[in-house]
Amino acid sequence: MKKVGIVGANGYTGSELVRLLAFHPNIELSFLYSRSNSGIRISDLYPDLATVCEMVLTDKPVEVDILFLCLPHKESQNWLSQNAVGDDVLIIDLGNDFRLNGEFNNRNFIYGLPEINKKNLSGAKSIANPGCFATAIQLALLPLAERGLLNEVYTTGITGSTGAGQSLQATTHFTWRNDNISAYKTLTHQHVDEVLQQLNSFNEKEVSLNFVPWRGDFTRGIFTSSTVKSDLELSDIEQLYREFYEEAPFVKVSEKAIDLKQVVNTNRCVIHIEKNENVVVIHSAIDNLLKGASGQAVQNMNIAMGWEENLGLNLKAVGF
């Protein structure tokens, strides 16, 4: 059994990790860290964790084998600077501190998108978990990028309210969010640079990504639609995608139209491709808290530790 600590366990991604790891056969939760809620039981913050995990949140970390950082932007660097972590400890950061520049002290963080980086993740000690929108968009576009077929990309994506974090804001308040949809960070979303860094490492031409994110009036999930131009036949594009994801246990290419409910509460990504003349639209759907965050972090832990990739992640979609 490997000892695990979660820093920022009081947030949505941290508590989602608790739900997953409480049933993982190879780990033991050693501490749940929170400065703001120290001394409070995690099940008092999240009643669904009653009988699942009754641990008390603490502001005093202990020695572990695996450390998950579920903190806001720049807070992971601050926490690691203030707390000693052994070189042999596997660190998986769910924030965006190390996605673009992975060097920190004596560590070099590996970008944790398993579908393209599984070899480098095996045995890794420092992993930068991808962003939620970044995961959905990349999985939709990487097979085309590998063939150098991307140029100008137009993407829209809609996300649930949990993507904004636990802290209450005007845009996450129920009376504002319910029955409402709005665009935000148009063409300036923080995940664009992350996506382009990966796509441009595959695509022979520089990719231009025009991304418009939307706030949805639901709790969980991300649905993106990316529009590109291609002269390939639809059947050839679909075959290209199936071959690319042949050994990816959590990615499914569907010939039928897809729904968000297919992936909510799972670590899966489903993709559907449509084509009219030379215009191609690639749809992708994930759960922002699982494949877009905590589930992918567990997937990365499994690969780094040499365990089965889907260990602890055989989850049932909530809608069916």
Give the CA angle between residues 75, 77, 83 to the nearest 5°: 95
Closest CA to 81 of 96, 65, 97, 94: 97
Residues recorded for the chain: 320
Tokens representing residue 245 in the block = 């994801």
Tokens representing residue 88 in the block = 């042999």
- Which residues are within 8 A (CB) of 126 and not within 5 positions of it... i.e. 6 or more apart? 90, 91, 93, 98, 102, 104, 107, 108, 109, 110
Residue 133's SS3 state is: helix
Which listed residue (53, 70, 132, 269) is catalytic?
132
Asked if 134 contacts 107 with a C-beta cutoff of 8 angstroms, the reply is: no
Tokens representing residue 234 in the block = 């639809």
Residue 132 annotated as catalytic:
yes
Closest CA to 195 of 232, 244, 248, 140: 140
Q: How far is 140 from 298, CA to CA, in rounded Å? A: 21
DSSP label at residue 55: P
* Phi, psi for 31 (deg, rounded to 5): -155, 150
- Which residues are within 8 A (CB) of 56 and not within 5 positions of it... i.e. 6 or more apart? 32, 39, 40, 41, 42
Which residues are tagged catalytic? 132
